[in-house]
Amino acid sequence: MEITGNLTDPTGRLHLGICVTRKPKDAPPQVVRQIESPDQALAVAMKAGDHKLANVAAAIGKSESYVSRMRRGMRPIPRRLVGPLCAATESNLLRQFFDLQAAMEPPCWRSEVSRLAGMLRGA
């Protein structure tokens, strides 16, 4: 099966046929701190921007049922979909939630050893 037509724009990026008009905006810190889970972050971002399930699903190239299950917490939100979901909802709330969770995790032993070794080398 041959695909005809140009699926990429002049910059070489894949064109999905959905135009996201605005750059995602950061949510206020007080909102980010109140988010308890990734699915809640997605639901809040969609509700705040009045984004329909069908539009978000089309923008990320997934089915409505899959996005609905992610929004309800029945499916985990893969890291590879965080950027597209933020673009589709025009909000960085989901990315900010994951960043906050990563910052609050205790560092693993190996990364802490590497960090300290780098400091020792630099001294």
pTM of the predicted model over 0.85: no
Which of helix, strand or coil describes residue 120?
helix
- The residue range of the domain holding 84 is 29-122
Domain membership flag for residue 14:
no
Domain membership flag for residue 90:
yes
Say which amino acid occupies 41: A
pLDDT tens by residue, 63-99: 999 999 999 999 999 999 999 999 999 999 999 999 9
- Domain CATH number, residue 71: 1.10.260.40
Count structural domains, the chain.
1
Domain membership flag for residue 61:
yes
Cα–Cα dist 29/93, whole Å = 9
Domain membership flag for residue 112:
yes
**Residue 2: its pLDDT value, please?**
44
Contacts for 64 with CB less than 8 Å, ≥ 6 apart: 53, 54, 57
Domain membership flag for residue 118:
yes
Cα–Cα dist 81/89, whole Å = 12
pLDDT band at 12 (very low <50, low <70, confident <90, very high): low
> How many CB atoms are located within 10 Å of the residue 70 CB?
23
Domain membership flag for residue 5:
no
**Residue 106: its pLDDT value, please?**
83
Which region, left, alpha or beta, applies to residue 83 given φ > 0 means left and ψ of -120 to 50 means alpha?
Answer: alpha
